[in-house]
Structure 1
């Protein structure tokens, strides 16, 4: 082969290799962008990943494909038919041959039937009136506009109030309904309970970028809820955060000018360290490490706004409250299950170890993510009641 032909062949091969490298890089970039967007884009519809295999309403049972969610004991909500139907389910009656049979307590709406379009939810109550407690629907003025909330006064609602409040903060892809199951635990201890909404959750006003700040922006709306509580007689406030709501609470107590009113925090299945959480989720999805790190950089970078849609970068490192353990001073109760499957309990355990002087950790083993109340309501409520009695005065 002539030298010119060899050179041409080499340069052609190099060109093809370079083109392939560019294509691969572009593909990787698209995957990174998609991962980043999944993290910061508010969720309006949850995956229908449960299969209903059989229904016997005469016997009051439903049979599901055996999955961790389907098999865990306790009481739950069962959404079906793309969330046009909802039932309340409880105890596991039988588990065999890849199937789980559970009790149907009540079909709230829709016609329960075999379908692959279903999901199990920790939401057990959908409306505040289901609790049979006095409740008011109110609006909280935030910097973006009015955000709806549910206000449960203490006792029988006759106006008696000793100034002890709990403000609940829901998690990623959730709404204030998430906290309805917890209201009685605080009501029984004499607390006023406020279930707040925050930007981009489908209830509160949207931000300009319509993106989650992972706690870095949402805390401002909880700060507004604190001001509402203060204006309505609150003298002692406990903040409770579920999942990402834990990250919101941690941002609130370290950034709010009203933090003097906060006397303690309760965190259920919390995000204590976003990088730890996101890397864990990436491993579950078997994402290559470069893709994971690239997605994190997109979320954190000032130049990536046109890709992510974020109005401002998110400083994930500053949201690591294991590293920032010294910045915390309030009595803290953490409830977390080691089989969480969404937010690992590693950071919760690390924070409890680093700040054993202020942090009480109540570990669960088989309760999954934010389903600790559902799994063992009595233990969950007792842990909260004991901690409140010992730490908040």
Structure 2
């Protein structure tokens, strides 16, 4: 695995822990944006591949996630998370001026990355959305209608066809295994509406990848969200049989090769 290092910086609501996988002379900078309840450390294998592909890779544990400060999984406003990620990008750009930047967001990170592209897309070379929470996500309305939120953790088997992925997820002490927070669900609802109203991504090259058998963030719900924001350069890759975490799927090598091929095209 590629070497990595951690540092902390001040986010919109407290201290954040960021991770860097350096490259001595990167062709591009990759900013990884993780999903709900998890942390940047779950993307070691993705970062390793991207470093070998020529990237310097950066990621941050969002507020209330992983090693960062804050009440667990509590997010009041996703635009604050976007701002936190942008501060990390500024750090990356300061270390590597004039190097193109690609943002890669998974699940909730796809929501953050989509909003990021609406705010800062003019400075990006490309955008990758993996199983993004965008468009319609019915679970939000169902949960918000309840008087008391159920303490039901994510079913590990829905993550990947590889059972070792679910086992590692369950055993990971930095992963949140408790219930949603109502304020976070309300922030999700506002962010989905904000993205839908935020307009097209214009000429920003965008790759949308999704597992056909994604039961956590169903393909049908995300499709409407992608259609609402897509610009002039959208590549779609739907993987038969794949579940939610496509970067951890049994055919992850094929899927990650698709990501690097997309990056090669936009850099060319």
TM-score range, shorter chain: 0.7 to 0.9
Tell me the CA shift for residue 322 of structure 1.
7.7
Match of 2:162 in 1: none
How far the C-alpha of 1:382 sits from its partner, in A, is 1.7
Matched, 1:266 2:128: yes
Deviation at 1:202, TM superposition (A): 3.4
Higher-Rg member (1/2): 1
2-structure distance, mates of 1:180, 1:332:
23
Q: Does the 8 Å contact 1:272/1:321 carry over to 2? A: no
Q: Identify unmatched segments of 5+ residues in structure 1.
A: 1-130, 283-288, 297-307
Mapping of 1:336-375 within 5 angstroms? 336-351=210-225, 355=230, 357-375=232-250
Q: TM-score, normalised by structure 1?
A: 0.52
The separation in 2 between residues aligned to 1:184 and 1:176, in whole angstroms, is: 13
Q: Judging changes above 3 Å, is the alpha-carbon distance between structure 1 residues 343 and 325 closer, same or farther for their aligned structure 2 residues?
A: same
Task: Say if 1:168 and 1:239, in contact at 8 Å, map to a contact too.
Answer: yes
8 Å Cα contact 2:125/2:205 also seen in 1: yes
- Tell me how many residue pairs correspond in the alignment: 233
Cα separation, partners in 2 of 1:134 and 1:178, compared to 1, 3 Å: closer
Residues 306-385 of structure 1 aligned to structure 2 (within 5 Å): 310=183, 314=187, 316=189, 318-320=191-193, 323-324=196-197, 326-329=199-202, 330-351=204-225, 355=230, 357-385=232-260
Higher share in strand:
1
Inter-partner Cα distance in structure 1 for 2:69 and 2:101 = 24
1:167 corresponds to: 31
Separation in structure 2 between the aligned mates of residue 312 and residue 334 of structure 1, nearest angstrom: 24
Tell me if structure 2 keeps the 8 A contact 1:352–1:359: no
Structure 2: gaps spanning 5 or more residues? 148-180
* Match of residue 139 from structure 1: 8
Q: Which residue of 2 aligns with 1:100?
A: none
After TM superposition, the structure 1 = structure 2 runs for residues 227-242 of structure 1, keeping only pairs within 5 Å, are: 227-234=90-97, 235-242=99-106
Change (3 A) 1:178 1:221: same
Quick one: higher RCO (CA 8 Å, sep 6+), 1 or 2?
A: 2
Question: What's the CA shift for 1:270?
Answer: 1.0
Please state which structure has a larger fraction of its residues in helix: 2
Tell me the equivalent position of 2:17: 148
